[in-house]
Structure 1
Amino acid sequence: MLSMKSCLSAFAAVLLLGQTFVAHAELPDFTPLVEEASPAVVNISTRQKLPSRAVAGNQAMPDLEGLPPMLREFFERSMPQVPRSPGGGRQREAQSLGSGFIISKDGYVLTNNHVVADADEIIVRLSDRSELEAKLIGADARTDVALLKVEGKDLPIVKLGKSDALKVGSWVLAIGSPFGFDHSVTAGIVSAKGRSLPNENYVPFIQTDVAINPGNSGGPLFNLDGEVVGINSQIFTRSGGFMGLSFAIPIDVAMSVADQLKAEGKVSRGWLGVVIQEVNKDLAESFGLDKPAGALVAQVLDDGPAAKGGLQVGDVILSMNGQPIVMSADLPHLVGALKPGSKIDLDVVREGSRKNLSLTIGSLPEDGEEVTSTGAPQGAERSSNRLGVLVAELSNEQKKSLDIKGGVVIKEVQDGPAALMGLRPGDVISHLNNQSIDSVQTFAKVAKELPKNRSVSMRVLRQGRASFITFKLSE
């Protein structure tokens, strides 16, 4: 007979084995998803004719000898083609590779704008290796979305999901053509949602750790239900390759853009007409907020929707139409998604008090809103103060060019708090400790009464761009 100890050991082994099977059972099987979705994922190649120039017939080409056949073939295919022109020289062509996916049976295809930008010819290669020439219906550089059209009937299509339903930690899968290797499949999880990237204020990117490389751009990002939830668009890299940070355009945003491109050939976005910045701990303290949150209005553009609706410099926007603004980047995402002419309600903090403002959203200008920049203003009257700066009055012309009603210009930065803050001659101070500065005298008075050991805010304009900074005086 087996001893009690042997029985317990056997039971433990069975239990451990069972746990192992359960753990393996919980891992997703991507096979059915890939088999169903792959036919609708396409490879996109483009050609762009570059200005002709004379090229010597014996021009040296890179030495590809010694490379593995597959890599040699890839690099040969990737090199710019130089067919001879009638004049005896050679005409250069630039080529690019990317991915895309079919969203309608009659041949509409979504991809990235940067995949097809400036292309003279766009070729879409299907999973059966057939190639179709595509027409560019429209593209939007701000969201990096492009809509193509190929001629076809009963083409395979992807299922579209809801990117808003995605949760951080969810499994996702990408299919694309990294480095030209068609229908490569990579998987990972959603790392974050609502990410803002530099110069991409209107896209709340989905961040993933799915391996994305050059050639994946424009390809679909799937959830476990086989639905497209994003378009793979960008990677963060220091090496040129994948480093664990990939960014996808939410499919909800992409389809809104595609629908507008299809219907009107362009995209219209909501616009407030403000310059905003993040509210950190020190700014929150200086504005009397319980915690860092919201979007601080650093500048209100003249005659814009915000100015007409009563929004002021120094207001902290806490919510829009009941949706909390946790990070300042949340505001452009929400405003940009609205149609021009939409009515919104803003919950703001102004001088320590809560206010509700109602205003009408405008239309984002085609080329963005330019803020006038000027050189260092001139002035004669000066004043010294606890901050360690010499300031002067602004002339009426300078106020008009900067689109401000008051302020003082820094003429000289001495040793002291101002130097530590990074202030420079030519900077304009328009607000100090939540008070408007309309003259050198007002500035000197407010500076003299600044509190000690408490965060104080200052609004500074540098070359026409405004931002709030904070500091503390210890003496």
Structure 2
Amino acid sequence: MKARNHRGVAILAALLLLGTAAVAQAQLPDFTGLVESASPAVVNISTKQNAPARGAAAQIPELEGLPPIFREFFEHGIPGVPGQGAPGQQREAQSLGSGFIISPDGYVLTNNHVVADADEIIVRLPDRSELEAELVGADPRTDVALIKVKGEGLPTVRLGDSSALKVGEWVLAIGSPFGFDHTVTAGIVSATGRNLPSESYVPFIQTDVAINPGNSGGPLFNLQGEVIGINSQIFTRSGGFMGLSFAIPIDVAMDVSDQLRTEGRVSRGWLGVVIQEVNRDLAESFGLDRPAGALVAQVLDGGPAAKGGLRVGDVILSVNGESINMSADLPHLIGSIKPGSKVRLGIVRDGDRETLDIAVGTLPEEGEEVVAGVDRAEKSSNRLGVKVSELTAEQKRSLDLPGGVVITEVQSGPAAMIGLRAGDVITHLNNQAIDSASTFGRVAEGLPKNRSVSMRVLRQGRASFITFKLAE
């Protein structure tokens, strides 16, 4: 009787396990149909450029940094590998990447870094046929490039809406990592609107999809088989995938592509300000409820912000009603606005909320920085532990400042602890403009204790706000 009961329990347990497995399998996505329909429009991209000959190890990025015992074999050359030669000779450097066809007549999207400086671009289709491509245009700021091959009736991808993407959603990448054509990897969206230190104009899609060298420029699909991003970067300490990959939203990429196709270049909105993050201490100093927004550290003379009345010390909290949580949100929001258009900024000024309507300008091709020249003059001391002098007329003119003081000596005290240096120019202290050494001394003597105090400092032409607290 007991044996029969044990068999019954075992059978029931097995059925439950099978049922659980079946439910789990039913919940996982099936990518086979997506891959079959989307793969024909995904291409491999290789480029060639003339470059001085190097050892074979230099042609293989994955070998860089290997110990000499591993590098020695490759430095002597690999039989059958083209492009090797003695120093001074020319070789053809090859770069591998991915791309995808967006129109039947042969327009292809990829990354700028895949085709940059190429003398020849070759697109290989899934049927292994190869077509030579021409560069229509490229935009280094977003790392997007548009190339064109001759063809008719070519397979194309379906484009999605990257703004509708949600964190946790399944996504899939197709590309050529390490030259392995049409490799498929899948994962989920880890974050959206991610800002990277090296990129100001792209709100990246972060995923945990396995991306490696050669995936660059390839498409990122949603479960509907629509392209919602271009795989562009990874975060790595080893040179390979570590679980953090980043894709350019397709909405951004197509805006760039359309401008490259019609205008040959990309125009972006521009305010003409230098901004910085608002941390907890700065938020307290400027009377904000929480750290948020973009603090205006510098307003460029003659720029759109200066003409529109934006001031140093203003905190930008919204653009056309869209909140600015991190300062890095501002550049790509303004950059996406057509130059000449009016933009409404929600700001905090002197603790009060206001709105400004500003005509957006065009982002210059190359920014210019003003570098300060510092001369020593009469010194004055104060409780911060610095000696300062007033700016000369020439310094005010070169820095385009109405006033301020320059630090001539940093002594022991609060100034040294917060990293101030001789040559730094102080223009604001505790939200008050500093027009002279006497004003600086008066404001410094009246600083509150045990509360965050802000100071605007100009160093080598770059302005930023710093905060500190004076102890009892």
| TM above 0.5 | yes
Match of 1:25 in 2: 26
**Contact kept in structure 2, 1:100 and 1:110, CA below 8 Å:** yes
Pairwise CA distance, 1:9? 7.1
**Which string of whole-angstrom CA distances, capped at 9 and with x for unpartnered residues, describes residues 382-411 of structure 1?**
211111111110011111212221111111
Cα offset for 1:271?
Answer: 0.3
Report if the CA contact (8 A) 1:412-1:425 is conserved. Answer: yes
Q: Unmatched 5+ residue regions in structure 2?
A: 61-69
Corresponding position: 1:247 with 2:218: no
Match of 1:132 in 2: 131
- Summarize the Cα distance change of 1:270–1:183 in structure 2 as closer, same or farther, 3 Å threshold: same
Residue 389 of structure 2 corresponds to: 392
Say whether the 8 Å CA contact 1:107–1:152 is kept in structure 2. yes
**Displacement of 1:28:** 1.0
Instruction: Give the equivalent residue in structure 1 for 2:279.
Output: 280
Contact 1:103–1:109 (CA under 8 A) maintained in structure 2: yes
Distance 1:105 1:129 in 2: 18
Superposed CA deviations along residues 438-463 of structure 1, whole A, max 9, x for unmatched, are 00001001100100101111111110
Provide the rounded CA distance (Å) in 2 between the counterparts of 1:77 and 1:363.
51
- Aligned residue type for 2:463: A
Quote how far apart the aligned CAs of 1:6 are.
7.7
Residues 82 and 93, structure 1, Cα contact 8 Å, conserved in 2 = no
Residue 24 of structure 1 aligns to a residue whose secondary structure is: helix
> One-letter code of the match for 1:40?
A
In structure 2, what is the equivalent of residue 80 of structure 1?
83
Are the aligned partners of 2:56 and 2:84 in contact in 1 as well (CA < 8 Å)?
no
Give the SS at the match of 2:397.
Answer: helix
Q: SS at the partner of 2:311?
A: coil
Number of the residue aligned with 2:49: 48
Q: Is the 8 A contact 1:48 1:118 kept in 2?
A: yes
Give, as a single letter, the amino acid of the residue that structure 2 aligns with 1:374.
A
- Cα distance in 2 for residues equivalent to 1:438 and 1:342: 35
Structure 1 equivalent of residue 207 of structure 2:
208
Deviations 1:362-391 (A, max 9, x none): 000012x2221124x113222111111111
Give CA deviations for 1:69-117 in whole Å, capped at 9, x if unaligned.
xx9xxx7787635699xxxx84322211111000001100000111111
Equivalent-residue separation in structure 2 for 1:81 and 1:135 (angstroms): 27
Runs of 4+ in 1 over 4 A off after TM superposition: 1-13, 59-64, 75-79, 81-84
- For residues 281 and 211 of structure 2, the distance between their equivalents in structure 1, rounded to whole angstroms, comes to 38
Q: What's the counterpart of residue 187 of structure 2?
A: 188
CA deviation string 1:307-336 (max 9, x = no partner): 000000000011111001111111111100
* 1:176-225 deviation per Cα after TM superposition (whole angstroms, max 9, x unaligned): 11111111111111111111222310111111111111111110111111
1:236 deviation in Å? 1.1
Aligned to 1:143: 142
Could you say if the C-alpha distance between residues 62 and 50 of structure 1 is closer, same or farther in structure 2, counting changes exceeding 3 Å?
closer
TM-score by length of 2: 0.92
Q: Which of these residues, 354, 369, 372, is aligned with residue 371 of structure 1? A: 369
**In structure 2, the residue corresponding to 1:248 is in which secondary structure?**
strand
Q: Which residue identity is paired with 1:384?
A: S
Give the counterpart letter for 2:291 in structure 1: P
Partner amino acid, structure 1, of 2:299: V
- Which residue of structure 1 aligns with residue 39 of structure 2? 38
Runs of 5+ unmatched residues, structure 1: none
Give the partner amino acid of 1:80. G
RMSD, aligned CA: 2.5
The amino acid that maps onto 2:322 is Q
